[in-house]
Amino acid sequence: MNQLEEKFETVQKAPEFKKNSQVFRFIGGNLVSFFGDQIYMIALPLIVLAITESPLSMGIVAALERLPVLIQPIAGVIADRFNRKSLLLVCDLLRGLIIGGNGGFTYERGLYGCGKCMWGLL
Per-residue pLDDT averaged across 90-104, rounded?
83
In contact, 61 and 45? CB cutoff 8 Å: yes
Choose among 113, 96, 121: nearest CA to 55: 113
Q: How many percent of the chain have pLDDT more than 70? A: 72
pTM: 0.54
Residue 16 is given by DSSP the state: P
Task: Render pLDDT for 43-61 as a digit per residue (tens, 0 to 9).
Answer: 989 998 998 888 998 999 8
- Confidence at residue 8, expressed as pLDDT on a 0 to 100 scale: 59
Distance CA 56, CA 111 (A): 17
- The residue ranges of every structural domain in the chain are 1-65, 66-122
Task: Render pLDDT for 12-50 as a digit per residue (tens, 0 to 9).
Answer: 566 676 777 888 888 899 999 999 989 988 998 999 899
